[in-house]
Structure 1
Amino acid sequence: MLRDAVASLELSGQSQAARQWANAEFSATAKDSLTVFLAALTDLARRAVVNNDQIYCYVCL
């Protein structure tokens, strides 16, 4: 489940995922913004796992 995969991201994993995402979809300068976004999403996913909740995230960039 994507929620669980995001919840398990460590800080280094967030940075790596943001870099790859920025390179694939955006400019390299987007990495910092995506890292902040992934940190918040990781926190949300971790809380959802603890509460056995689902998450829904709509992203429009």
Structure 2
Amino acid sequence: MKRYSFYIEKERFYEKNKHQISTSSTTDVEEIKRLNAQSGLTYNEVFALLGENYLKNQQKK
């Protein structure tokens, strides 16, 4: 009987959370996207800003 109730609870969980997109490790992909959007500049954006500042400083000399 325990095994059967486990499967019922599992189905209820999946039914309740089916709107969330998740990976096989149950990572909430939408939550990761939201957190990444709030995290600030990416590596490439920082690199581009540093390059722009370097070029501006070189032109002044």
- Which structure is higher in RCO with an 8 Å CA cutoff and minimum separation 6? 1
Shared fold per TM-score greater than 0.5: no
TM-score by length of 1: 0.31
TM-score by length of 2: 0.31
Pair member with larger Rg: 2
